[in-house]
Amino acid sequence: QKEVEQNSGPLSVPEGAIASLNCTYSDRGSQSFFWYRQYSGKSPELIMSIYSNGDKEDGRFTAQLNKASQYVSLLIRDSQPSDSATYLCAVNTGNQFYFGTGTSLTVIP
Partner 1 sequence: EAQVTQNPRYLITVTGKKLTVTCSQNMNHEYMSWYRQDPGLGLRQIYYSMNVEVTDKGDVPEGYKVSRKEKRNFPLILESPSPNQTSLYFCASSLYWGNTEAFFGQGTRLTVV
- Residues lying near partner 1 in the complex (CB under 8 A) are found at 8, 31-32, 34, 41-46, 49, 51, 88, 90, 92, 95-102
Nearer to partner 1, 17 or 106 (CB): 106
Three-state secondary structure of 14-82: ECCCCEEEEEEECCCCCCEEEEEEECCCCCCEEEEEECCCEEEEECCEEEEEECCCCEEEEEECCCCHH
Least separation in angstroms between residue 97's CB and partner 1 is 6
**Measured from the CB of residue 34, what is the shortest distance to partner 1 in angstroms?**
6
